[in-house]
Amino acid sequence: MKAIVVRQLWATLIALEIKTIETRPAPPNGPMRPDGVRGLPGLPVERGERIAIVAGARRPSGHGDHYGEWRLSLGESVPIIHALSLPYRWHPLPLGAVVCTVQVDDALPIVDEWKGAGVSQRFLVSNGRTLALVDAASYGPVSGSFTPQLPLGDFTPGRWGWLLSDPQPCTPIPCKGRQGVFRLPDDVTEALGQEVGA
């Protein structure tokens, strides 16, 4: 089975089906990569292919009273996990391990069609070919919005959004990650198959 590394806390949010778009600097190699566009290093990924999500080995960075941040517009951020919320201390996030498998439905380029001046009017929408940052005034009624995903990734125009679905969480299976799309070692694939019926 193929896999990508995703840093924590994002890997766990993918397993919980909260984060449904993984942003990357490039699409995967294969049919989702348009001609003339450089793909992410490693193996190709087909539309609808199931891949493993490996939580990176680095612990989320601590910022005094919280761990990790959600990026907001204009350089603002908010903490994801407050140190006072004890579950993180008692149940650390798995690191250097497969946490789930997901289906990669598509990879779409992120474009900027946002002409508004107010942060509160920013939306993330898809027309099936792109993920576009838009404002309500120029776009009209927004349906099928991916706006709740904005704090969960880097939606800088020029990057790519990998659309993920059907996460199948598993007991963390130790696995060393690599850059790009890589093949899991046979023993990890076997253990994962027993976990989620992959």
Per residue of the chain (198 residues), what is the pLDDT tens digit?
999 999 988 999 999 999 999 999 999 999 999 999 999 999 999 999 999 999 999 876 654 444 455 554 445 555 555 444 444 444 578 999 999 999 999 999 998 876 655 544 566 777 777 777 776 565 555 555 677 788 888 888 999 999 999 999 999 999 999 999 999 999 999 999 887 654
Residue 35 lies in a domain: yes
In angstroms, the CA 95 to CA 48 distance is 26
113 domain-assigned: no
Q: Is residue 134, in this structure, part of any structural domain at all?
A: no
Taking the model in full, what pTM does it have?
A: 0.80
Q: Is 143:126 a contact under the CB 8 Å cutoff?
A: no
Q: Judge whether 97 and 54 are in contact, CB under 8 Å.
A: yes
Which residues form the domain of 22?
A: 2-107+162-196
Domain count, the chain: 1
140 found inside a domain: no
Residue 122 three-state SS: strand
Please check whether residue 6 lies inside any domain of the structure.
Answer: yes
In a domain, 174, yes or no: yes
132 in any annotated domain: no
3-state secondary structure of 190: helix
Residue 133 to residue 131: CA distance in whole angstroms: 7
* CB-based contact 45:51 (threshold 8 Å): yes
Beta-bridge partners for 98: 54, 173
CA gap 150, 148 in Å, rounded: 6
70 found inside a domain = yes
Q: What's the pLDDT score for residue 92? A: 74
